[in-house]
């Protein structure tokens, strides 16, 4: 009896140690994997040493024209180690109804997008992609500039909450997460913050 109790305690200690090690290991974005829009696995570790922007996108949103600004940033800084990853999402008023192939075609024809597009995902709720769970946990607050933009986001906030978005979750399409060269989630920008407003910040991070 005593022996079995000891074995049980040892087993629990080992299990807790393994969980702690796993939690500690999942410390940066580089520990995750994702699928691109062709269904191919992408190891985020390949972006070590680069400045990364992760954006949840949609083709039928009021913010969809931001694809142009995102592409402009990508072309300007990609040779300096800047990468944008677009993650399409259909959770906000079904503004991304197409298939992955249709989304890629729309982005190419209408906005000349060349930065990587990923497989369509959920960004909040029980089926949220692990990458977005991680990003929102690391950076639950987003930066909004100006009273007008804050008013817009207040309205958007109420809509997304009615659709089941949890506190701290992504509030709408084109939320932007900036990640430094060492994998740290530096800032989260609201959809109302346009890509060109982030130019100087990205340039500074690339130095």
Name the residues annotated as catalytic: 61
Number of helices (H) and strands (E) in the chain: give both, helices first.
6, 6
Angle between helices 100-111 and 66-77 (to 10 degrees): 80
Residue 41 DSSP code: E
What's the helix, strand, coil split of the chain in %, to 5?
45, 20, 35
- Cα separation, 205 vs 80, in Å, equals 10
CB atoms within 10 A of CB 204: 9
């Amino acid at each position: 009896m005593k022996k079995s109790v000891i074995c049980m305690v040892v087993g629990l200690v080992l299990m807790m140690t393994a969980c702690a090690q796993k939690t500690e290991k999942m410390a940066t974005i580089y520990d995750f994997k994702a699928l691109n829009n062709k269904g191919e696995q992408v190891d985020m570790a390949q972006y070590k040493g680069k400045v990364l922007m992760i954006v949840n996108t949609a083709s039928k949103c009021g913010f969809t024209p931001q694809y142009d600004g995102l592409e402009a940033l990508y072309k300007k800084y990609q040779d300096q180690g800047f990468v944008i990853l677009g993650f399409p999402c259909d959770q906000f008023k079904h503004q991304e109804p197409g298939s992955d192939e249709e989304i890629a075609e729309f982005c190419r024809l209408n906005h000349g997008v060349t930065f990587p597009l990923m497989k369509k995902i959920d960004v909040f709720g029980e089926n949220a992609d692990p990458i977005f769970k991680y990003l929102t946990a690391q950076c639950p607050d987003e930066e909004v500039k100006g009273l007008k933009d804050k008013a817009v986001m207040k309205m958007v906030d109420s809509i997304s909450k009615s659709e089941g978005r949890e506190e701290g979750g992504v509030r709408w399409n084109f939320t932007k997460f900036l990640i430094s060269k060492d994998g740290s989630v530096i800032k989260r920008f609201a959809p109302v913050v346009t890509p060109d407003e982030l130019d100087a910040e990205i340039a500074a991070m690339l130095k």
